[in-house]
Amino acid sequence: MNLEIESKRSLKRILDSIDLTSMSKADQQLFEQRLHNHFPKLFTLFLETYGHRYDVFYYLQELIVCLAKGFGERSRALKQKDKQRLADPLWYKNENMLGMACYVDLFAQDLQDLQAKIPYLKSLGITYLHLMPLYDSPKGDSDGGYAVSDYRKVNQKLGTTKDLIALAKALNKEGISLVLDFVFNHTSDEHKWALAAKQGDPEFQDFYYMFDDRTIPDQYEHNLREIFPQVRRGNYTWNEDAQKWVWTTFNNFQWDLNYSNPAVFNGITSEMLFLANLGCEALRLDALAFIWKEMGTTCENQDKAHKLIQAFNSCLQISAPAVVFKSEAIVHPDEVLKYIDPEECQLSYNPLLMALLWNSLATRKTNLLTQSMQKSFSISPKCSWVNYVRCHDDIGWTFDDKVAEHLGIDGHNHRQFLNQFYTGRFDGSFAKGVAFGENPSTGDCRVCGSMASLAGLEQGIELNDQELIQNALARIQLINAVILSIGGIPLLYSGDEIGLLNDYSYRLDESKLHDARWVNRIALTEQAINDSQNPKSTSYTVSKELQNLIALRKNLPVLGDANTQILDNQNPHVFAYTRYSDEGEVLLAINNFSEHPQLIDSEILQQLDGSKYQDHISKNTLSHAQNGIQLAGYQVMWLTAK
Q: Which residues are catalytic?
A: 286, 328
Residues 3, 41: Cα–Cα separation, whole Å = 10
**Contact (CB, 8 A) for 7 and 24:** no
Burial class of residue 428 (count of CB atoms within 10 Å of its CB; 0-12, 13-18, 19+)? exposed
Burial class of residue 434 (count of CB atoms within 10 Å of its CB; 0-12, 13-18, 19+)? buried
Residues 198, 25: Cα–Cα separation, whole Å = 45
- Virtual torsion, Cα 481, 484, 487, 493, nearest 10 deg: 120
Pairing of strands 99-102, 128-131: parallel
Helix/strand/coil for 486? coil
The DSSP line for 345-407 is: BSEEE-HHHHHHHHHHHHHS--HHHHHHHHHH----TT-EEEEES--SS-B-----HHHHHHT
Residues 193, 421: Cα–Cα separation, whole Å = 44
Pairing of strands 177-182, 446-448: unpaired
**Contact (CB, 8 A) for 74 and 68:** no
**Contact (CB, 8 A) for 104 and 494:** no
Kindly report the backbone phi and psi dihedral angles of residue 188, in degrees, each rounded to the nearest multiple of 5, phi listed first: -75, 165
Residues 145, 186: Cα–Cα separation, whole Å = 12
**Contact (CB, 8 A) for 371 and 409:** no
Helix/strand/coil for 115? helix
Residues 68, 319: Cα–Cα separation, whole Å = 7
Kindly report the backbone phi and psi dihedral angles of residue 317, in degrees, each rounded to the nearest multiple of 5, phi listed first: -60, -30
Counting DSSP H helices and E strands in the chain, the numbers are 23, 25
Residues 464, 500: Cα–Cα separation, whole Å = 17
**Contact (CB, 8 A) for 487 and 564:** yes
Residues 479, 464: Cα–Cα separation, whole Å = 23
Residues 553, 9: Cα–Cα separation, whole Å = 51
Residues 190, 487: Cα–Cα separation, whole Å = 41
- Virtual torsion, Cα 419, 425, 427, 430, nearest 10 deg: 70
The Cβ of residue 22 has, within 10 Å, a number of other Cβ atoms equal to 10
**Contact (CB, 8 A) for 398 and 503:** no
**Contact (CB, 8 A) for 397 and 415:** yes
**Contact (CB, 8 A) for 390 and 520:** yes
